[in-house]
Amino acid sequence: MQVIRVTVVISWKNPYNIAHGTWLESEVSTSSTWKELTAVKNVFLSLINFLSGKNVKWFTDNQNVVSIVSKGSTKSVLQKLALDIFSTCIKHNVNIDMVWIPSTENERADYLSRIIDSDDWAISEFVFQIVESLWGPHEVDWFASDDNFKLHVFYSRFWNVNSSGVDAFTVDWRGINGLFVPPVSLIPRVLMYMRQCKAVGTLILPYWPSASFWPMLCPFGDGFISENYFRNLEQHLQQKGIIKVFLRWKKWAILNGIENCDILPAKAFHVAIYLASLTQSSNTVSPVVQAFYSLKWIHSLIGSLCSPTDSSLVINVLEGAKRSLATPTNKKEPISVELLHKMYDAMFSFGNLYNQRIICACFTAFAVFLRVSEMLNIRRSDIVILECYMSILIQHSKTDVYRDGNSVLIARTHSNKCPVKKHGIIFAVG
């Protein structure tokens, strides 16, 4: 993800009154005015506890921002941002005075905006759900940001819009089941502070036996989950197709405005609607069944005590889908003499040798109970026609019931539909 950092310093005296954020890749190509206005809005939301009821003088090196915040803009996107800033100021009794200054006089914020947090990293949602199921529920994400937080309560390095505080080391960790995904450079400090506070939580760090923190954490090199555990588990889920089916549910939920917190664990009502939509758009019941059992497995994996698949509403929707999408069973009817007569009357023609060959094959197979595989293996040299009967040599037969060795006999009846007579006609023409 490509990011551009925007930093605003509110007070030079207090180093914690700093808001620092990043642009998403989709926001990189937007105008500098939009970015500056968005920074103003986000900083107000991040530091509203400090700014509420105060007069704020805002220094910026963008002249358009000074004009737009004061008078508005003819562009709807920029006007909306200006109104959001105005509404925030009214709501929290903030008087803002925008002042333009040259970039050379804005060195403090410019310096902080160039800070690159090379230690910033995060775990995936998949890993988090497994950790949550094993050692959760966790209460606080102690080292996070707006870009990677996993819990609603989190602490960040700088103030973010959603952060609960900055500098987790200023808080007592005692009695809180915390999630620790610290920067690598802070791991030794985190371990010492955890011991000092007698903290309880889940610490996630790189598998790095040669690192300086390793002897502090694991003197004998044991006590860790196997490094192949998550990899093997994810491969198992991929093979079963569970992840693919779950991502299909997640995409549907996002498109229909369901909040992230209700995607996993999911609510029974939402899952019932999802299964109903699959029922309407599918030709078979397979997608509905896959979705049901995929969600059931995922919820059991994360240790959810209330899986939506246990709801009677969801179960009834599944059973309804099975009934409505069930395909009727078409039983194969045995070949009867009447069917053979109808086929003969419809297909027989003196000049059509192709149809006569098909009729001959069907009548022969019916007369001596031949399988398709046995019929296809019969050669011309296997058939011997005599005056009263015809003999067919069967090279390979699954069963030999009602047969004399490996040959079968068909009596001559002298009727128009006699297999012996039909073979004689075909051999004479051929």
Q: How many CB atoms lie within 10 A of CB 317?
A: 22
Which DSSP string do the residues of 360-378 spell out, in sequence order? HHHHHHHHHT--HHHHHT-
Same domain, 96 and 153: no
Distance CA 409, CA 395 (A): 14
Q: Which domain, by its residues, includes 63?
A: 5-113
The answer on pLDDT for 8 being more than 70 is: no
Residues 309-363 have pLDDT tens digits of 889 999 999 999 888 887 776 777 778 888 888 888 888 877 787 888 888 888 8
Q: Is the entire prediction scored with pTM above 0.75? A: no
Same domain, 320 and 240: yes
Same domain, 233 and 319: yes
User: Does residue 332 belong to any structural domain of this protein?
Assistant: no
The answer on pLDDT for 273 being more than 90 is: yes
Same domain, 320 and 342: no
Which DSSP string do the residues of 69-83 spell out, in sequence order? HHH--SSHHHHHHHH
User: Does residue 223 belong to any structural domain of this protein?
Assistant: no
User: What pairs with residue 21 in β-bridges?
Assistant: 6
Domain boundary among 217, 250, 266: 217
How remote is the C-alpha of 72 from its chain's centroid?
A: 42
Distance CA 138, CA 129 (A): 11
Same domain, 399 and 422: yes
Distance CA 37, CA 57 (A): 15
Tokens of 113: 């905006």
User: Does residue 330 belong to any structural domain of this protein?
Assistant: no
Same domain, 59 and 98: yes
CATH code of the domain covering residue 343: 1.10.443.10
Residues 44-75 have pLDDT tens digits of 666 666 667 777 777 776 777 777 777 777 77
Determine the Cα angle at 14 with ends 9 and 15, to 5°: 65
User: Does residue 21 belong to any structural domain of this protein?
Assistant: yes
Same domain, 272 and 186: no
Same domain, 109 and 9: yes
Residues 149-203 have pLDDT tens digits of 888 888 877 666 677 777 788 888 888 888 888 888 888 888 888 888 888 888 8
Domain total for the chain? 4
The 3-state DSSP class for residue 251 equals: helix
User: Does residue 289 belong to any structural domain of this protein?
Assistant: yes
Domain boundary among 324, 353, 385: 324
Question: Tell me, what's the pLDDT at 7?
Answer: 38
Same domain, 182 and 252: no
Smallest CA-to-CA distance from 173 within 209, 206, 204, 138 is with: 138
User: Does residue 195 belong to any structural domain of this protein?
Assistant: yes
Higher pLDDT, 98 or 179: 179
DSSP state of 161: S
CATH code of the domain covering residue 42: 3.30.420.10
User: Does residue 329 belong to any structural domain of this protein?
Assistant: no
User: Does residue 18 belong to any structural domain of this protein?
Assistant: yes
Tokens of 369: 């109970």
Residues 112-123 have pLDDT tens digits of 566 655 667 778
